[in-house]
């Protein structure tokens, strides 16, 4: 009897760890981005004594090209962030100035939020820049998840020393992400707070980013529209176009 139980445990364990963690992460990332997409979002930055909301439009082609246009508040309206492969640019209309963001700025706060420039503009790739290790399974709000550890490759220019993903096994979506610094101390936790239908896919509609060391601080990102059926010319992801996008 003990032999049968041991054999069953080995079979179940082999089934769990036969999952390729890199493929799980890639499938999850592809589901969120699609081949092309257009989205309208709002971001609310919450602090103990105040809060403010930023609205934006985003366009993307795969993981190499993305464009973010700030539509409110008035003081930030027209600000643009562009990713063209590994190059990141920022257009500031109030001073009519274009800035190329160096890798050293990727860990800086994006628009005063708890997200970094790298989190939103995504210079690094969860698929290409990290080694992946399947730690096991867990359950979040009744959903079974894979728990996957990401550690940066030796030559990767990334912000985090370690990332731990909790990916829903049925829908391939991020339910929780833990961000660690180079000393592997937990810095930020991003959690899916609401899941719904976006562009015909089941995806997180609202996510929250919370810094561990700053109680009362959080940033809430909410999708209001997401369309994967758009056809966006590659010419839109240029420094020339970012100055006139509306």
Give the closest residue to 165 by CA, choosing from 55, 10, 2, 29.
29
Q: What confidence score (pLDDT) does residue 221 get? A: 98
CB atoms within 10 A of CB 185: 11
Name the one residue in this structure whose structure tokens are 């993903």. Answer: 165
In the structure, what pLDDT confidence band is assigned to residue 1 with cuts at 50, 70 and 90? low
Please name the residue that has the structure tokens 């989205």.
Answer: 39
Helix, strand and coil percent figures for the chain, each rounded to 5: 15, 50, 35
Assign domain 21-243 to its CATH superfamily.
Answer: Lipoprotein localisation LolA/LolB/LppX (2.50.20.10)
Q: What pLDDT was estimated at residue 14? A: 41
Residues 169-223 have pLDDT tens digits of 999 999 999 999 999 999 999 999 999 999 999 999 999 999 999 999 999 999 9
- pLDDT of res. 246: 84
Provide the whole-model pTM: 0.88
Binning pLDDT at 50, 70 and 90, where does residue 145 land?
very high
- Quote the distance between the C-alpha of residue 107 and its chain's center: 14
Secondary structure string (H, E, C) spanning 16-77: HHCCCHHHHHHHHHHHHHCCEEEEEEEEEEEECCEEEEEEEEEEEECCCEEEEEEEECCCCC
- Residue extents of the structural domains in the chain: 21-243
Residue range 29-46, pLDDT digits in tens: 889 888 899 999 999 999
Question: Checking phi first, is residue 82 left (phi over 0); if not, alpha (psi -120 to 50) or beta?
Answer: beta
- What's the whole-number average pLDDT of the chain? 90
């Amino acid at each position: 009897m003990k032999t049968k139980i041991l054999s069953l445990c080995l079979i179940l364990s082999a089934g769990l760890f036969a999952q390729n963690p890199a493929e799980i992460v890639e499938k999850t990332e592809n589901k969120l981005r699609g081949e092309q997409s257009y989205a309208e979002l709002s971001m609310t930055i919450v602090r103990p004594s105040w809060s403010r909301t930023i609205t934006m439009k985003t366009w993307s082609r795969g993981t190499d090209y993305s464009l973010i246009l700030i539509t409110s508040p008035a003081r930030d309206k027209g600000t643009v962030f562009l990713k063209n492969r590994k190059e990141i640019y920022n257009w500031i209309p109030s001073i009519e100035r274009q800035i190329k963001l160096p890798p050293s700025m990727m860990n800086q706060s994006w628009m005063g939020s708890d997200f970094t420039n790298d989190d939103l503009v995504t210079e690094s790739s969860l698929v290409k820049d990290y080694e992946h290790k399947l730690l096991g399974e867990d359950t979040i709000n009744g959903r079974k998840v894979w728990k996957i550890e990401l550690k940066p490759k030796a030559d990767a220019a990334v912000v985090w020393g370690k990332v731990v993903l909790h990916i829903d096994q049925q829908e391939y979506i991020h339910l929780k992400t833990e961000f660690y610094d180079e000393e592997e101390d937990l810095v930020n936790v991003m959690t899916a707070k609401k899941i719904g239908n976006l562009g015909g896919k089941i995806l997180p509609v609202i996510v929250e980013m919370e810094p561990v060391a700053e109680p009362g601080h959080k940033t809430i990102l909410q999708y209001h529209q997401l369309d994967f059926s758009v056809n966006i010319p590659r010419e839109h992801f240029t420094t020339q176009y970012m100055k006139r996008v509306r």
